[in-house]
Structure 1
Amino acid sequence: MIEIPEKITSPLSGSTAESINSRVRGALSNQNLQDLNGVTNYRTRSSGYKTNYRSGDASGVRIPPKGPYDTCPQTPRRNSQPYRTAVPQMSANGHSQIPPNTYSHPQAAVSRTSAASQSTQPAVSSGGALSDLVLPNFTRPLQKGQKSPIDPMGGVLHKIRASFGWNLKGVDCDIDASAFLLDMSGKVPDDSWFVFYGQPESPDGSVSFVKDSQDGGRESIPIDLDHLSGNICRIVFVLTIHEAFARKQNFSMVKDAYIRLLNADTGKELLSFCMDQYYENVTSMTIGEIYLHNGQWKFNPVGNGVNKDLAGQCAIYGVEIEG
């Protein structure tokens, strides 16, 4: 099972976190709840997400909390066992239950502070509205559905990097890139083959998630094709809007969304795709995919969206969600 980690916008000091922990252990007064709601303005990135190892009935292991959210460290593995990370419970209407930023009901505050108490210093992100990203020079752009070998020059690639970028139309949308590693069934072999901000590395170590891409994008997913597990034949890249349903946000509020495939060794663009169609009924977007065809890796600029959140995308590709 997977649980999508909570996200926050501002760091908690050690004394504040210690105070929260002590309050959560006991009964909370109305004043306590008001204070906690004012402190825990959750929105971006996990507050100490957990990884469950597939080793019998062993209990989950919590990854140490991160500092300012620049890059995701490699997730530790035990005895080379694949791992699973935690994502949100599904509600009756099929939407994931990731709570909004503020709460009017005391129980909601208790639920959120319980998550905060798992770590004395949660991981944080800069938060706030994004400044416009300067678009790169797309040297080898493709149109939607225009499939191509990932190296049109016919070379042999060992490492590539999928770089993602986007701009916003004057709103504060929190967009995340993620990757689903699929086998011949069109599903993930198990939950550990879903790579995102809360599970930043595949079990074989070949695919990882990086915040603040070094090539000028917002996020990137490096891929080591030489070390990719032999049963993985397709990698789907998805962009999702965090809390899209709660915030009533959609991809009509987004512009300049793109994916670039780069040679990881040289940094040169191999292929790219920049979306030009955005719709109000789309909250997550399959922006592209790479797939193995007759022994050759190819790129498909998909550009198709659905009215689903990250949990909904997980359901499409066979990632089980708690609850």
Structure 2
Amino acid sequence: MAITLEKGQRIDLTKGKTGLTNILVGLGWDPVSQGGGFLGKLFGGGGGADVDCDASVLMLKNDKFTENKDLIYFGNLKSKCGSIEHTGDNLTGEGDGDDEQVLVNLSKVPGNVNKLVFVVNIYDALRRNQHFGMIQNAYIRIVDRSNNQELVKYNLKDDYAGKTSLIVGELYRHENEWKFAALGNGTNDAKLADITRNYI
């Protein structure tokens, strides 16, 4: 049974789990239901563009983002080292289950990469006047790909109204093990490039 984390909690992911190397990181969200009529129009419902959330991974070296090739997103689906693969873009967030998935082979992550930061931002948020108050049921989960067992899940419960990006969680090295931290921090970064600048 998966361990459910709250914001700010950390868990040792690999300790005691010999052979845990291939994991799936699933990220999910749903658009807030916005009906028609007066209230729907007042709050932006009825005919607006879908909120297109994009999941990405920043590969950090000594907690710093140093090269564009270390950003895995819909425009660069696989890391050069082959340790991380994004399975593709979901444009609407509709439907059950993960909206976007990232496959990680922990044994292939280069030794000089100490942290993998998982972020979600809204594509073209400013022009579309969209924010994470229009999204609900956001989560991140980690699955052992060898047996499809869900190991960890973190449901983001904060009010993210007005925020255009989320720093969801991070996998990081601690001695010879990998740990996961549930972050859930909302930011006003408008684009993915703005997010990466925070780690330079």
TM-score range normalised by the length of the shorter chain: 0.7 to 0.9
Determine which structure has greater relative contact order: mean sequence separation of CA pairs < 8 Å that are 6+ residues apart, divided by chain length: 2
Paired residues in the alignment total 179
Task: Confirm whether residue 270 of structure 1 aligns to residue 148 of structure 2.
Answer: no
Task: Confirm whether residue 157 of structure 1 aligns to residue 38 of structure 2.
Answer: no
Encode CA deviations 1:28-87: one digit per residue, 9 max, x unaligned.
xxxxxxxxxxxxxxxxxxxxxxxxxxxxxxxxxxxxxxxxxxxxxxxxxxxxxxxxxxxx
Is this contact kept in 1: 2:165–2:187, CA < 8 A?
Answer: yes
Is this contact kept in 2: 1:290–1:297, CA < 8 A?
Answer: yes
Distance in structure 2 (CA, Å) of the matches to 1:283 and 1:298? 27
| Secondary structure in 2 matching 1:249 | coil
Is this contact kept in 1: 2:22–2:146, CA < 8 A?
Answer: yes
Encode CA deviations 1:266-321: one digit per residue, 9 max, x unaligned.
11111110111122231000110000012110000000010012221122233xxx
| Secondary structure in 1 matching 2:84 | coil
1:206 paired residue number: 83
Encode CA deviations 1:202-251: one digit per residue, 9 max, x unaligned.
110110111379x9311111011111111011000000001111111111
What's the TM-score, normalizing by structure 1? 0.53
1:219 paired residue number: 100
Q: Which is richer in strand?
A: 2
1:190 paired residue number: 67
Residue 154 of structure 1: CA displacement?
3.8
| Secondary structure in 1 matching 2:157 | coil
Is this contact kept in 2: 1:159–1:224, CA < 8 A?
Answer: yes
Counting aligned pairs with the same residue, the percent is 32
What is the aligned counterpart of 2:187 among 276, 283, 306?
Answer: 306
The aligned runs of 1:24-35 (5 Å cut-off) are none
Residue 153 of structure 1: CA displacement?
5.0
Structure 1 stretches of at least 4 aligned residues deviating more than 6 Å after TM superposition: none
Amino acid at match of 1:314: T
| Secondary structure in 2 matching 1:205 | coil
Residue 151 of structure 1: CA displacement?
4.0
Amino acid at match of 1:188: F
Distance in structure 2 (CA, Å) of the matches to 1:161 and 1:225? 11
Is this contact kept in 2: 1:150–1:261, CA < 8 A?
Answer: no
What's the TM-score, normalizing by structure 2? 0.83
The aligned runs of 1:95-110 (5 Å cut-off) are none
Is this contact kept in 2: 1:255–1:278, CA < 8 A?
Answer: no
Distance in structure 1 (CA, Å) of the matches to 2:30 and 2:141? 15
Is this contact kept in 1: 2:15–2:177, CA < 8 A?
Answer: no
Amino acid at match of 1:298: K
Is this contact kept in 2: 1:152–1:270, CA < 8 A?
Answer: no
Structure 2 unaligned segments of length 5 or more: list them: 34-44, 91-95
The aligned runs of 1:30-179 (5 Å cut-off) are 139-151=2-14, 153-170=16-33, 172-179=50-57
2:113 paired residue number: 232
Is this contact kept in 2: 1:239–1:284, CA < 8 A?
Answer: yes
Encode CA deviations 1:166-196: one digit per residue, 9 max, x unaligned.
0011362000000000011x22231101000
Could you say which structure has the larger radius of gyration?
1
Distance in structure 1 (CA, Å) of the matches to 2:73 and 2:159? 23
| Secondary structure in 1 matching 2:85 | coil
Bigger Cα displacement from structure 2, 286-295 vs 152-161: 152-161
